[in-house]
Amino acid sequence: MKILKRMNKSNNRKNSGFTLVELVIVMTIMGILGLAVTGFIGTSTKQYKYATKDVDLQYEAQLTMNQIGNLIIDAQKGVKYEPATVAAPVEVASVNPEAGYIATASAEEASSEEASSEEASSEETSSDSKLIIYNKDCTYNIIYRPSEHKIYLRKDTLDPATGAVKADGQGKESLMAENVIGFTPDLSEAESKNSVGLVVDFKAGDKKYTSKQNFTMRNKVPTGADVEYVAPVEPISVHIYYGGRDVSGQSISYVRRDNSNVLEFTSKILGGNNPSQEVIWSYTGRAADGNGTTFNSSGNTAKLSIAENETSKQFVVKVTSKEDTSKYTSVTINVVDTRNWLTTEGIYGLNGGNTEKTHINPYEVRNSGIAYDVNNFEWHIETYSLENGIESPSNDIEEFAGEQADYKGGKIFTYHIEDSWVFGHEHEATKELSMTSEVSIPGKHYRIYVWVTLKSDPSISSNVVTFKYDK
């Protein structure tokens, strides 16, 4: 019996469990560990989603720019941008940032009154903007629709005979990009540098990304209003521009300067079905002693640089269509050297009682290539006071007739223009200006500028003669 009792006691000790306190401690520790693990997992998940959204947005932007860029680079006939004809949608707070793009309200929804007025108008409007790429047999329409935050691509097939979209040639819009909140093409350097700029803004949730690239086109193509497919019956014409002005087939005058004398010309070929813009430049006119005169061309731009020792008074710049050499135009440049038209000898400085003179030099005028007539010129006089190196307009000058100066209103200087004679190469008539100062004013400084221009062409101006008064 004693042995059995000892065995029972030993078994009872082996089958004893945890106390209640031990169980509470264990459960508390497990709860803390569970919360920590849950928080860590939640934070990691959010960071992963955030990073993934950023990467996805950048990937979408890069893919979109690559697709559009490939189309721009291969443009064959032209590139044109048509902006929206109504205001872009107005951004409002998104109810669900995880929706992929922010919620918007259209311009019509933003103002019911504006919507009513637009409905009353017969003029067609659109909030879509388009970048259109013209090829020989098709056009690619890249459509940005702000109301949907999406970019679509539509390919239209053209009739080669007319250049118009075939009856069944308009394609279907396919989605190119989403999460788009801005689409801004830049065609300002498309014709000069074959470069098209593009800025596309993306937004997904609270993430924003802007992609900006410049694409260089393989072909020289027109842009803007000239990119229109018309019937090929419209004849091809070659045009040459100088200073933004069409000078095709014209004769222009160029006034030489003391330093740089570079004339820049541009070309454009117009006609049916957007003809090729490739051209051939040429020029004539350089004298044998003008060995520093150069003519360089690149694409639709050409530059004529006139050397200082150049004696030729006339140049002809010609531009020819490379595709059709029977189509060409030219401009004649008459170089006018006006730097010595007015004499400067004997002009020292005005002071009380002093008279100084300048006259038109007939020899220099004829030598510049202008037919000389004393009545062909317009005189110009401006007076400035000089203080601390700063000039300011002054009214201290008055014209007088005869030999007597009339100081009405307290005028300081008077001038007189009269017929005169020049003795030198020939004995011939000219015009002479006399400037007189009768009043001495201590501490005063003046600069009086005199020049002449052609009445028939005011852009042709002489050198400027300066009369100085320093007392």
Q: What average pLDDT values come out for the chain (471 residues) when binned by 10 residues? A: 53 62 81 76 62 77 92 90 72 41 40 43 68 90 94 89 79 92 91 90 87 91 64 75 94 88 95 86 89 93 94 94 94 92 86 85 85 88 89 84 53 85 75 83 86 90 91 74
**Per-residue confidence (pLDDT) for residue 109, from 0 to 100:** 41
Q: Rounded to an integer, what distance in angstroms lies between the CA atom of residue 319 and that of residue 51? A: 57
**Per-residue confidence (pLDDT) for residue 319, from 0 to 100:** 97
Q: How far apart are the first and last CA of the chain?
A: 146
**Per-residue confidence (pLDDT) for residue 12, from 0 to 100:** 53
**Per-residue confidence (pLDDT) for residue 298, from 0 to 100:** 95
**Per-residue confidence (pLDDT) for residue 51, from 0 to 100:** 54
What structural domains and CATH numbers belong to the chain? 52-109+124-226 (no CATH), 237-336 (2.60.40.1080), 354-470 (no CATH)
3-state SS assignment for residue 122? coil
Nearest in space to 147 (alpha carbons), one of 108, 117, 184, 173: 108
**Per-residue confidence (pLDDT) for residue 397, from 0 to 100:** 83
3-state SS assignment for residue 128? coil
What does the block give as tokens for 135? 């090829």
**Per-residue confidence (pLDDT) for residue 380, from 0 to 100:** 94
Nearest in space to 62 (alpha carbons), one of 154, 176, 153: 176
Task: Tell me if the pTM is above 0.75.
Answer: no
Q: Rounded to an integer, what distance in angstroms lies between the CA atom of residue 128 and that of residue 11? A: 88
Q: Rounded to an integer, what distance in angstroms lies between the CA atom of residue 201 and that of residue 58? A: 11
Nearest in space to 335 (alpha carbons), one of 316, 317, 318, 314: 314
Q: What angle do CA 292, 295, 297 make, to 5 degrees?
A: 150
**Per-residue confidence (pLDDT) for residue 105, from 0 to 100:** 40
**Per-residue confidence (pLDDT) for residue 88, from 0 to 100:** 54
Contacts of residue 254, defined as CB under 8 A and 6 or more positions apart, other chains included, come to 261, 263, 333, 334, 335, 336
**Per-residue confidence (pLDDT) for residue 7, from 0 to 100:** 52
**Per-residue confidence (pLDDT) for residue 87, from 0 to 100:** 58
3-state SS assignment for residue 33? helix
Report the DSSP beta bridge partners of residue 401. none
**Per-residue confidence (pLDDT) for residue 58, from 0 to 100:** 86
